[in-house]
């Protein structure tokens, strides 16, 4: 099979295919693909169609897509820190504040805001705590 690249690559598809064959012949079970091979795949993708690279190197599209995906920040998966607030500290005299607003930041960058009359804040917090 003679496939013409988009431009002259620094590594050829045939050379990388041969390196994959050597690696597959020598690898241990469940051994991850070496980073050097991934780097060569990325170089090939700059010069050859994705489908050609995948087919020639016998790679699954899902593996390549996963490898190309940006890393997930640990802070995106981590639960926000919990801060216990005694109900007594949340209750203000009705004459000084008429409504109360509580905002929770979410992991996706958005936030949820809850507003209620101060006189009902304690009962609202108790109801929320009963749900957990």
Could you read off the pLDDT of 22-78 as tens digits, one per residue?
A: 999 999 888 899 999 999 999 998 889 999 999 999 999 998 888 888 766 665 556
State which of 68, 95, 113 marks the end of a domain. 68
Residue 81 phi, psi (nearest 5): -65, 145
Q: How far, in Å, CA of 76 to CA of 107, rounded?
A: 6
Residues 96 and 125 in one domain: yes
If one compares 13 and 107, the residue with the highest pLDDT of the two is: 13
Asked if 81 and 63 touch (Cβ cutoff 8 Å), the reply is no
For residue 1, tell me if it sits in a domain: no
Residues 64 and 83 in one domain: no
State which of 68, 90, 115 marks the end of a domain. 68
Q: What is the pTM of this model?
A: 0.49
Q: How many domains does the chain have?
A: 2
Tell me, what's the pLDDT at 7?
53
HSE, CB side, 13 Å, CA atoms: give it for residue 27: 13
| Cβ-based neighbours of 102, under 8 Å, separated by 6 or more | 113, 114, 115
Tell me, what's the pLDDT at 16?
93
Tell me, what's the pLDDT at 5?
47
Computed over every residue of the chain, the mean pLDDT equals: 78
Which domain, by its residues, includes 95?
77-131
| Cβ-based neighbours of 131, under 8 Å, separated by 6 or more | none
For residue 6, tell me if it sits in a domain: no
Residue 79 phi, psi (nearest 5): -70, 145
Residues 56 and 24 in one domain: yes
Q: How far, in Å, CA of 121 to CA of 127, rounded?
A: 10
């Amino acid at each position: 099979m003679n496939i013409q690249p988009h431009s002259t690559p620094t590594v050829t598809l045939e050379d990388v295919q041969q390196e994959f064959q050597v690696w597959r012949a020598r690898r241990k079970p469940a051994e991850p693909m070496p980073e050097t091979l991934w780097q060569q795949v990325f170089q090939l993708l700059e010069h050859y169609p994705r489908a050609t690279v995948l087919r020639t190197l016998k790679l699954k599209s899902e593996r390549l897509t996963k490898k190309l995906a940006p890393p997930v920040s640990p802070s995106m998966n981590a639960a926000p820190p919990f801060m216990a607030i005694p109900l007594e500290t949340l209750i203000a005299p009705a004459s000084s504040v008429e409504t109360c607003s509580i905002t929770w930041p979410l992991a996706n960058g958005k936030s949820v805001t809850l507003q209620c009359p101060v006189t009902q804040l304690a009962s609202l917090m108790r109801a929320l705590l009963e749900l957990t």
